[in-house]
A and B are shown apart, each in its own frame.
Chain A
Amino acid sequence: MMRFVLWMLGALLLGGIVHLSTVLAMPETATQDAYARLSRITPVNAVVQLDGPTAQKANMPFMDPAFAVAVCRYDLSAGALKLRTPLSQAYTSVTFYTRNSVAYYAINDRAAGRRAIELDLMTPEQHAQMPEEEDVTAADRLIIESPTKHGLILLRALAPEPGLMAMARRALAGAQCRSEPTPAQ
């Protein structure tokens, strides 16, 4: 009896380890996460608008149908990224995700400047390598550090009424993200 209880305890302990390790390994091993889904339809370092979700088809689950959505799938290995998106009339937001769908930064039109959201995205190493003078003169530039080299930027513009979806899409059509190769040193 005692032996059986010990075996059971061992099983529980091992089961706990299996549980924790599978949960922790899931983000690295998932094949259907948002990045994988969007990789099939988006080029690297360019803005692409996504089709609005319908009952038959959606790029991701739980998308808000009231928003026009554009994606910039980025790769910072060649250098920093410049992002610019005009603001729509209603509400515009930009959210940054790591390769594993962790939202590490988000900004909306109220927090941004007058008529556009303008940002520089770079890795902490690239930020550290920036010449200091440039850092000072660019004080009004918003610099975001990406924890990973690859990731997703989601640009979203609200259509407060269904009839305004075209307006929201037009605003996002002017969005740009492009890689700025670091000059060789």
Chain B
Amino acid sequence: MRLFFGSCFTLALAAAIGLGATWLTLTRGVAFGSLTIGAWTAWPRSGSVDIDPYARATIARTGELPIGAGDGVAFYAHTDDAGEAFDGRCTFVISGMTPAARYWTLTLYDPQGRLVANTLDRHGFTSAEIVRETDGRIVINVGPRARPGNWLPSGGIERFVLVWRLYDTPIGVAALTTKEGPMPAIARKGCS
């Protein structure tokens, strides 16, 4: 009898541990070989055949197609440099020099990867359309209310994700180094 209860308990616990760990790793987006610069993290290997099993499982579940390693690299940010989560009711300022790439795009998504509705129908910037400071730096305001300069509307949603995609770039292709950076800084500038 004891053996029976023991095995039942063990099997139930094993299922809970195993499935729980799978669910956690796939929803949190665990993957190996990440490249972090400031608040930005990329997984260059996810765009090649060296993709690890966790990243493979994650993209199979979400249905996205990772950007190919010969095409470019995508950096994701969920927080600012201080670790504050992106809140659509706050204004965040992205500033600094942009890394070496032929083109880049910056896009704002909700955590599920959908674009966020706004009156301007603006979901991001490309390197060709951004307005730069006289010294070549970029300054982008991400927030719910209109701002002069480069304004990226966050639609006031609770959480958002920024994705910086570099196309035709040396970053992450040859080696996992942060020397080619730096990526622009992100700072929170008050909430409404």
Contacts and interface: CB of A to CB of B under 8 A. Distances in A.
Interface in B26-84: 26, 46-49, 51, 53-54, 56-57, 59-72, 74
A15 B103 contact: no
B109 to A, nearest CB: 6
A27 interface: yes
B177 to A, nearest CB: 21
Contacts of A53: 114-115
B contact patch SS:
mixed
Interface stretch (A74-82, A87-95, A118-126): A87-95
A66 interface: yes
Contacts of B72: 93
A61 B64 contact: yes
Q: How large is the interface on A (under 10, 10 to 19, 20 to 34, 35 or more residues)?
A: 35 or more
Contact of B60 (A12, A96, A100, A159): A100
Interface stretch (A28-36, A135-143, A174-182): A28-36
B70 A105 contact: yes
Interface stretch (B89-97, B123-131, B178-186): B123-131
B27 to A, nearest CB: 12
Nearest to B48: A103
A65 B21 CA distance: 33
A58 interface: yes
Given A11-B10, A106-B68, A61 B117 contact: no
B65, B72, B109, B124: residue with the most chain A Cβ atoms closer than 10 Å:
B65
A3 B68 CA distance: 51
Contacts of B49: 102-104, 147
A55 B67 contact: no
Contacts of B59: 33-34, 101
Contact of B163 (A62, A104, A158): A62
Secondary structure of the A contact surface, majority rule: mixed
How many of chain B's residues touch chain A, expressed as a range? Answer: 35 or more
A58 B112 CA distance: 11
A168 B127 CA distance: 16
Nearest to A9: B10
A108 B70 contact: yes
B109 A62 contact: yes
Contacts of A62: 62, 64, 74, 109, 113, 163
A85 B46 CA distance: 25
B53 to A, nearest CB: 5
B14 interface: yes
Contacts of A159: 126
B6 A15 contact: no
22 contacts: A8-B13, A11-B11, A18-B14, A19-B17, A21-B18, A22-B22, A23-B53, A26-B57, A26-B61, A55-B123, A58-B113, A61-B113, A62-B113, A64-B165, A65-B107, A65-B124, A95-B71, A101-B66, A103-B69, A105-B70, A110-B102, A147-B49
Interface of A: 3, 7-8, 10-19, 21-24, 26-27, 30, 32-34, 36-37, 53-56, 58, 60-66, 90-91, 93, 95-97, 100-108, 110-111, 147, 152, 154, 156, 158-162
Interface of B: 6, 9-11, 13-19, 21-22, 25-26, 46-49, 51, 53-54, 56-57, 59-72, 74, 102-103, 105, 107, 109, 112-118, 123-124, 126-129, 163, 165, 167-168
